[in-house]
Structure 1
């Protein structure tokens, strides 16, 4: 009998707690919309997703606009391997993103690329 009462109390308590959490979340969303925090958060997220420009990618890889795709791959391989051995993961990821950016640019221009 006692176990049944405890079980009923737990079920009822969890239901009450669940409803309270949902209400608090809705109120927080309303407050965020009223104060502009939600809009500011969305703007900050979109700033963080900034796409690398071709110019920035070329600077990272140390190449010019006239560089061929083979030159880009050689530079990429060299920088990527150097950063894998004695560099940082951050620099290695920037090198990789630069290659991806230029690869997309070359493909959109209709120039042939072979991914390595």
Structure 2
């Protein structure tokens, strides 16, 4: 009998919490749309996601000069990527990878042959 009452109280309390959470969420969405915060947050997210790395940034990340040969860039990339794979940070490893992708696209667009070496 006591277990049944406790179970009913828990179910009722859970229902009340879920309804209160849903109401608070709807109110937050309403407030955000009135102030334009939701649209601004969406624009910032899209802007950040579409921000491409520049050639200068890529060269700084890999530590290669502008006149570096593609083979030197790949060697530097391999060293940095492996070092961060073993004992570094995933964030730095991903930055190194994005820098290589950027320089690879530039290298290929210059028509200097295949950059997959």
TM exceeds 0.5? yes
Query: Match for 1:63 among 65, 81, 84?
Result: 65
CA distance in 1, matches of 2:60, 2:7: 65
Unaligned stretches of 5+ residues in structure 1:
none
Deviation at 1:35, TM superposition (A): 0.7
Unaligned stretches of 5+ residues in structure 2:
none
CA distance in 1, matches of 2:94, 2:30: 38
State the superposition RMSD in angstroms.
Answer: 3.1
Which residue in the other structure is 1:44 paired with? 44
Deviation at 1:109, TM superposition (A): 6.0
**TM-score, structure 1 normalization:** 0.69
CA distance in 2, matches of 1:15, 1:92: 45
Q: How many residues were matched structurally?
A: 111
| CA 6–59 in structure 1, closer or farther in 2 if over 3 Å, else same | closer
CA distance in 1, matches of 2:78, 2:115: 15
SS in 1 for 2:59: helix
**TM-score, structure 2 normalization:** 0.68
SS in 2 for 1:113: coil
1:72-83 to 2 correspondences below 5 Å: 72-78=73-79, 80=80
CA distance in 1, matches of 2:78, 2:101: 13
